[in-house]
């Protein structure tokens, strides 16, 4: 009996505040935009009885979706979000791998401290960490001041408000999410495997590609999901660092909602974003599940 | 793995940490800048900190943010610990796949989707938006992080200790509070701290779910950041960074203390058994 109560409390909470809201988003994406509060016409309400619901079900239309597909702003937002997230995930992996590798190879007594220093920035505010880059990257910022000072450039580089700034922001903000799973899988590798490879005459780089790298693939997969999925829907980074030049779907959804106050279109944008991300999300869960079962 | 410092490892670690910490360090240094310009160092000054204390709107927002974080982290820790118990200890039950899906999906769900969907829920059920809607929203997304933290500890814990307590006549509830909870306590504390800081940091979900009555600190900072870099934002950021850093250092010290005490107890038990 008590067992069911322990299950029910978090279960009901998540159903109510996580799952059901998605259905409401879907419902509102099918309703009409209107200038009122809240700014949409309800598609149906239970107070009108079942008869009216069934007549209205017949009238449901996917007009907002047709609108999104016909407008280039939205389709190119989806594409450029996916592209930016994919490139940024790859760059994060390139920077995180040597760091995680170095940590896993550091003396054992150092490792908890190194771990803590990777996690610490993750605990400090996301917004503040993105803000920190504005002062560095802008035209009269520190990076340009430094490069001008040493004479590497004669004109300030335009980095702020470009896609490059968004890449830097994503790599910087999501680096801990990539380092931690990589470190976890690298740290578990049995050193005797590498010794065996060495004894059998394998040069270190070959041992790395044939032993270490394949064994770290679960960490790479988990890290890439943890970066790619949230980065696709990222709002703060493209908004603050990307300027008007960078299109990303999270930003489009935000302005649809807060500036245009078009809730049905914002909902339809969210539904489509979720559909785009459902494959990586399910794959991520499947990988997590497998890792958990393998850990037993 | 053979562990030692080689030149490659040291370079990788130093460069990685430089990338992670230099921007934060610059931000902190320029919060003490006398000049209002970001690139010009005008001498050491704490005037921006003094200015913060007089900014009543900012102080109000900070107070609301702390209250939201405290309440939502507490709810999230209780629910997250229950969810972790369900995932690790309850075995199979109908709807388990959906349950674990609902725990892991919010970890990667883009914030704009979570925020929008919760807002539409609150509108649909006519719930007055403001302080409590942010609390509910934050409790929901942070409980999943709390569940993952506690679950990691529960997985590598010897469940025979619990079985022994129950064989000796303890009730399941008694076993949980007298055996399980003391053992997983460090992870429960870190789950609470994680939920607290995630709530403290959140801009997107709070912006969607709040009403006109409640403005949180990140919302306030965001609206000022859009206008440009000012030493005042650097100062408030530095305070938040210091706050979190001290918290994390205390938490990791406590975990270390706890694990060394457990190690000592285990050795004593082994010695007694021999």
d(CA B205, CA B140): 11
Classified as helix, coil or strand, A181 is: helix
Q: Cα B66 from chain centroid?
A: 13
Residue in B9, B137, B200 closest to A105 by CB: B9
Rounded to whole angstroms, what are the CA distances from B182 to A283, B174, B186, B189, B239? Answer: 35, 12, 8, 11, 33
- Could you tell me if residue A44 is left (phi over 0), alpha (psi between -120 and 50 degrees) or otherwise beta? beta
pLDDT digits (tens, 9 = 90+) for A125-174: 888 899 989 888 888 788 888 888 888 888 888 888 889 999 999 999 99
| pLDDT beyond 60 at B2 | no
A279 in reach of chain B (CB within 8 A): no
A195 contact residues in B (CB cutoff 8 A) = 2
pLDDT digits (tens, 9 = 90+) for A188-204: 888 888 888 888 888 88
pLDDT score recorded for residue B269: 76
| pLDDT beyond 60 at A43 | no
Match 């802008």 to its residue by tokens: A138
d(CA A193, CA A191): 5
Q: Which chain A residues in 141-200 lie under 8 Å from chain B, judged by CB atoms?
A: 141-142, 145, 172, 175, 179, 186-187, 189-191, 194-195
A285 in reach of chain B (CB within 8 A): yes
Cβ-Cβ pairs closer than 8 A, A with B, add up to 258
**Domains of chain A and CATH, by start:** 1-28 (no CATH), 31-61 (no CATH), 70-295 (1.10.3720.10)
List beta partners, residue B229.
none
Q: Which chain A residues in 75-114 lie under 8 Å from chain B, judged by CB atoms?
A: 95-96, 98-99, 101-108, 111-112, 114
Alpha carbon of B221: minimum distance to chain A alpha carbons (Å):
8
| pLDDT beyond 80 at B195 | yes
B12 contacts A102? CB cut-off 8 A: yes
How confident is residue B207, by pLDDT bands cut at 50, 70 and 90? very high
Residue in A21, A120, A191 closest to B248 by CB: A120
A22 contacts B237? CB cut-off 8 A: no
d(CA A102, CA B12): 6
Quote ipTM for the complex: 0.85
Q: Which chain A residues in 196-235 lie under 8 Å from chain B, judged by CB atoms?
A: 225-226, 229-230, 232-235
Rounded to whole angstroms, what are the CA distances from A237 to A86, B150, B158, B186? Answer: 15, 30, 43, 33
Closest residue, chain B, to A188 (C-alpha): B1
| pLDDT beyond 60 at A45 | no
B100 contacts A120? CB cut-off 8 A: no
Number of C-beta neighbours around residue A281 at 10 A: 18
Rounded to whole angstroms, what are the CA distances from A88 to B16, B62, B109? Answer: 16, 33, 17
Helix (H) or strand (E) holding A226: helix A217-232
Match 């490059």 to its residue by tokens: A164
d(CA A200, CA A182): 27
A105 contacts B218? CB cut-off 8 A: no
How confident is residue B104, by pLDDT bands cut at 50, 70 and 90? confident
d(CA B82, CA A150): 58
pLDDT score recorded for residue A61: 67
A289 contacts B143? CB cut-off 8 A: no
Mean pLDDT of A204-230: 89
How confident is residue A49, by pLDDT bands cut at 50, 70 and 90? low
**Domains of chain B and CATH, by start:** 55-266 (1.10.3720.10)
| pLDDT beyond 70 at A47 | no
Asked whether the beta carbons of A26 and A267 are under 8 A apart, the reply is yes
d(CA B40, CA B106): 43
Strands (E), A47-118: none
Closest residue, chain A, to B25 (C-alpha): A132
């Amino acid at each position: 009996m008590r067992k069911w109560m322990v299950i029910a409390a978090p279960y009901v909470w998540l159903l109510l505040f996580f799952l059901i809201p998605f259905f409401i988003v879907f419902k509102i994406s099918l309703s009409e935009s209107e200038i009122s509060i809240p700014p949409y016409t309800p598609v149906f309400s239970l107070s009108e009885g079942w008869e009216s619901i069934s007549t209205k079900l017949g009238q449901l239309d996917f007009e907002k979706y047709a609108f999104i597909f016909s407008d280039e702003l939205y389709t190119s937002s989806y594409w450029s979000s996916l592209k930016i997230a994919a490139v940024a995930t790859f760059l994060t992996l390139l920077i995180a791998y040597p760091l995680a590798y170095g940590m896993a190879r550091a003396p054992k007594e150092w490792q908890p401290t190194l771990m803590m220093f990777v996690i610490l920035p993750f605990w400090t505010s996301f917004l503040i960490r993105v803000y920190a880059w504005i002062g560095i990257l802008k035209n009269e910022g520190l990076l340009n001041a430094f490069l001008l000072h040493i004479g590497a450039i004669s004109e300030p580089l335009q980095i702020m408000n470009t896609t490059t700034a968004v890449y830097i922001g994503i790599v910087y903000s999501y680096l801990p999410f990539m380092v931690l799973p990589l470190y976890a899988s690298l740290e578990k590798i049995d050193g005797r495997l590498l010794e065996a490879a060495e004894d059998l005459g394998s040069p270190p780089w070959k041992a790395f590609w044939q032993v270490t790298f394949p064994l770290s693939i679960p960490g790479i997969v988990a890290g890439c999901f943890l970066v790619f999925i949230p980065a696709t829907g990222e709002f703060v980074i493209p908004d603050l660092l990307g300027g008007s030049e960078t299109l990303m779907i999270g930003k489009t959804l935000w302005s649809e909602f807060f500036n245009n106050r078009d809730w049905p279109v914002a909902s339809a944008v969210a539904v489509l974003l979720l559909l785009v991300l459902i494959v990586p999300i399910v794959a991520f869960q499947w990988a997590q599940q497998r890792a958990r079962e393998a850990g037993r | 793995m053979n562990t030692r410092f080689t030149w490659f490892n040291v370079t990788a670690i130093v460069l990685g940490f430089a990338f992670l910490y230099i921007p934060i360090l610059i931000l902190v240094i320029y919060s003490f800048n006398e000049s209002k310009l970001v690139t010009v160092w005008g001498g050491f000054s704490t005037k921006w900190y003094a200015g913060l204390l007089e900014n009543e709107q900012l102080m109000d927002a900070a107070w609301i943010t702390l209250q939201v974080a405290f309440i939502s982290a507490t709810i999230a820790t209780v629910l997250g610990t229950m969810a972790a118990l369900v995932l690790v200890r309850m075995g199979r039950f109908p709807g388990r796949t959906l349950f674990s899906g609902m725990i892991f999906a919010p970890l990667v769900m883009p914030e704009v989707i979570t925020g929008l969907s919760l807002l539409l829920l609150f509108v649909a059920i006519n719930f007055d938006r403001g302080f409590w809607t942010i609390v509910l929203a934050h409790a929901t997304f942070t409980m999943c992080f709390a569940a993952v933290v506690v679950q990691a500890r529960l997985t590598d814990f010897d469940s025979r200790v619990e079985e022994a307590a129950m064989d000796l006549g303890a009730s399941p509830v008694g076993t949980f509070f007298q055996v399980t909870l003391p053992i997983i306590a460090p992870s429960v504390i870190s789950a609470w701290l994680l939920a607290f800081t995630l709530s403290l940091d959140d801009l997107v979900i709070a912006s969607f779910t709040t009403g006109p009555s409640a403005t949180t600190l990140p919302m306030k900072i965001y609206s000022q950041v859009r206008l440009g870099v000012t030493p005042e934002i650097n100062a408030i950021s530095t305070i938040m960074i210091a706050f979190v850093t001290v918290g994390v250092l205390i938490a990791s010290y406590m975990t270390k203390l706890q694990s060394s005490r457990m190690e000592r107890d285990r050795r004593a038990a082994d010695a007694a058994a021999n």
